Amino acid sequence: MKIGILGNGQLGQMLADSVTDLTDLEIRLYDLRAHSDDALETFIAGVDLLGYETENIPAHIVAKLEAHADKLFPSLTALKTFQNRLLEKNALRAAGIQTADFCAVNSLEDVHNAVETLGLPIVLKTTTEGYDGKGQYVLRQPEDAEPAWEAIGNRELIAEAFVTFSRETSVIASRDRNGNLVVWPMTENVHHEGILRYSLFPADGLSADKAEQAERYIRQLADSLDYVGTITLELFDTDSGLVANEVAPRVHNSGHWSIEGAEASQFRNHILAMAGKALEPTTARYPAVAMLNVIGDETPAVKAESTANAHRHSYGKEARPARKLGHVTVVADSVAERDQTITELSELMPSGVWPPQAH
Ligand code: AMP
């Protein structure tokens, strides 16, 4: 069976790498940056199933997928829903999942109205193409409305009430074609300047109630869309439970730890789900695991090669500031051992990012 993935970045590569032992599956990657209509049609004609490593697929390419919706997993509906923050928030609410209050913003007047309805502060975001904190503006006072609209507006935006959270977490699941769902243990995720720097399993002190809430949420969401594949739900950890921030209809950076850290990785189960095969267990293989991103410069990652309980992944990309070039997975027999190894590798992070703030 030939499976085509739109996008040939590190996610596509790790999807392909996850099933090299399954000789009945062949994974092909399509370079979205070298797109032409002919190249896409040829690519699609040559595969049995079609997937994507990113939801940031330009509208003119998504339009081409309409005619091939029957071989697209996750579905065209899922792709379109999670490409747009307004549709995404509506889908979350429809599935019974707690989110920040929000409203659509299409003009400067709407920004003022949002301030009235939601109160300050509010987070203004572009509805499409925003990632790693790009296309966002936090309004703290009514006078911020105009500069905010100037900076990211003149297009459709969403205004969200500001959520006060103690930390960010995510939950990742895979759902197969028969509706069976497997969920990985949650991680705590620490960002710096809008970019994920590291993820920790277990998330320190996460209550059983919140873990159950996360599992319930992702099941409700995946079931509501008859979703097939791996799906990620990013959640704010707040005093009043978990609040959904955003969804990725795909494998996610906060799940890279699962390659070495879990029985089956998020990549492998994504492909298995697409292919109509049975999903594999998601249980952690170690008591404690961490994933550290390698960003902008790979030099500090070299040390991980001589660190006994660390695994270095290099994506073979040219170095550029703020670019994800690889990641390091730390596996450990205890949280203390995990944290000691992270401290040894902490040159990978800007100062002050490790250890996480107490919560
Ligand atoms: P996003 O691209 O939606 O994941 O947002 C990037 C980051 O902005 C998140 O990881 C949060 O740290 C922060 N953020 C986003 N939305 C909100 C919100 N409604 N309230 C508070 N912080 C937010």
Nearest to 233 by CA among 200, 187, 278: 187
Residues 260 and 144 in one domain: no
- Answer with the one of 143, 161, 179 that is the final residue of a domain: 161
315 lines ligand 1 (CB under 6 A): no
What integer pLDDT is reported at residue 132 of this predicted model?
A: 62
Residues 275 and 209 in one domain: yes
CA 54 to ligand 1 centroid distance, Å: 19
Report if residue 89 sits inside a domain: no
Residues 143 and 250 in one domain: no
120 lines ligand 1 (CB under 6 A): no
CA 246 to ligand 1 centroid distance, Å: 9
Looking at residue 269, its amino acid is N
Q: Into how many domains does the chain fold? A: 3
Give me the half-sphere count of Cα atoms (radius 13 Å) on the Cβ side of residue 205.
Answer: 6
Nearest to 324 by CA among 256, 238, 262: 256
H or E element in which residue 282 lies: none
- Answer with the one of 139, 161, 183 that is the final residue of a domain: 161
Rounded distance between C-alpha atoms, residue 196 and residue 16, angstroms: 23
Q: Which residue has the tokens 């490790």?
A: 354
Residues 34 and 148 in one domain: no
HEC string for 254-270: HHCCHHHHECCCHHHHH
What integer pLDDT is reported at residue 253 of this predicted model?
A: 98
Reported as a single tens digit per residue, the pLDDT across 6-53 is 999 999 999 999 999 999 999 999 999 999 999 999 999 999 999 999
Report if residue 270 sits inside a domain: yes
Domain of residue 14, CATH code: 3.40.50.20
Ligand 1 pocket test: which of 84, 89, 123 has the largest number of ligand atoms within 8 Å of its C-beta?
123
Residue 189, SS3? Answer: strand
- The answer to whether the peptide bond before residue 185 is cis (omega within 30 degrees of 0) is no
Nearest to 289 by CA among 261, 328, 265, 256: 261
Strand ranges (DSSP E) for the chain? 2-6, 26-30, 49-52, 102-105, 122-126, 136-139, 157-161, 167-175, 181-183, 187-192, 195-201, 229-238, 241-248, 288-295, 310-314, 324-332
Rounded distance between C-alpha atoms, residue 44 and residue 50, angstroms: 7
- Answer with the one of 130, 161, 192 that is the final residue of a domain: 161
Residues 20 and 150 in one domain: no
Q: What is the mean pLDDT of each run of 10 residues along the chain (359 residues)?
A: 98 98 98 97 98 96 97 98 97 98 98 97 92 83 96 94 98 98 98 96 96 98 98 98 98 98 99 98 98 98 98 98 97 98 98 90
What integer pLDDT is reported at residue 131 of this predicted model?
A: 65
Please give the residue range of the domain that contains residue 140: 101-161
53 lines ligand 1 (CB under 6 A): no
CA 269 to ligand 1 centroid distance, Å: 28
What integer pLDDT is reported at residue 134 of this predicted model?
A: 75
191 lines ligand 1 (CB under 6 A): yes
Nearest to 237 by CA among 340, 359, 154: 359
Residues 188 and 327 in one domain: yes
Rounded distance between C-alpha atoms, residue 346 and residue 300, angstroms: 9
Residues 305 and 343 in one domain: yes
What integer pLDDT is reported at residue 298 of this predicted model?
A: 98
